[in-house]
Structure 1
Amino acid sequence: MGFLLRLIVNAVALYLLTRVYGGVSFAPGADALSVLLAALVMGIVNALIRPVLMLLSLPVNVLTLGLFTLVVNGVVLWLVASVTALNVNGFGAAIIGALLLTVISWVLDAVVGALGLDGQRD
């Protein structure tokens, strides 16, 4: 999937998350550029910081059979909210929001793949 398509899918997923779950929202007056910027920051944090967090939490992650990944995803969402127009109502809301964001992104990726917009051949 191309970079721009991935950015748009992530932005739509973030926007849908704020519409579905009240614990995560955008600041009043946030426009489409703010949503795209939050999606871009989310991509950068997922690419640079999340692998380090996953490596540091590996022993706990093994002990919890991977469930600690939800906490790491919540930390990532909380970090993104701290530098963008995204608002998270606490750490518990960040974990639930990260779980819902994962599901929404998975569904959107499946839709994009089914429509053939990702450039993959059958």
Structure 2
Amino acid sequence: MLAILVHLLLTAIFLLVVANFVKGVEIDNFGTAFFGAIVLGICNAVIKPVISFLAFPITIITLGLFLLVINAFMLQLTAALVPGIKVRGFLPAIVGSIMLTILNLLINWVM
């Protein structure tokens, strides 16, 4: 339970970092980022596997690059569901999802 809470807190911090570095991604405050981390986790656990399964042929054809599009879609879906998070366009969603992925990989590597 503590590990989940730490992961949510880190994801909320990462969302704020992405909002500071990526023009087009805006987050109002830490509370909004924390709620966004919860929604993003639920989207990644429930919706992403279904979309990844359905898009498997496209993912194979693009040698896995279509997963970036799916991650960007998850970030845009989170922004649509959480008031206070705005992703203005597809390019900021792609860059933001890449940054989130890299930050999460670094933390997972350290832990």
The TM-score with structure 2 as length reference comes to: 0.91
AA in 1 matched with 2:4: F
- Bigger CA radius of gyration: 1
1:109 paired with 2:101, answer no
Alignment partner, residue 21 of structure 2 = 20
**1:1-122 equivalence runs, <5 A:** 2-26=3-27, 30-84=28-82, 85-111=84-110, 113=111
Give 1:93 shift.
1.6
* Offset, 1:22: 1.3
Deviations 1:65-113 (A, max 9, x none): 10100000010000000011211111122112111111122223334x1
Identity %: 34
Take 2:24 and 2:106, find their aligned partners in 1: how far apart are those partners? 21
Match of 2:64, SS? coil
**Which amino acid letter does the alignment assign opposite residue 60 of structure 2?**
V
The unaligned stretches of length 5 or more in structure 1 are 114-122
Structure 1 outlier segments of 4+, above 6 Å = none
- Report which stretch shifted further, 11-20 or 101-110: 101-110
- TM-score normalised over the length of structure 1: 0.83
More helix by share: 2
Instruction: Pick closer, same or farther for the CA change 1:108–1:12 going to 2, 3 Å.
Output: farther
Aligned amino acid, residue 20 of structure 2: R
Other structure's SS at 1:2 match? helix
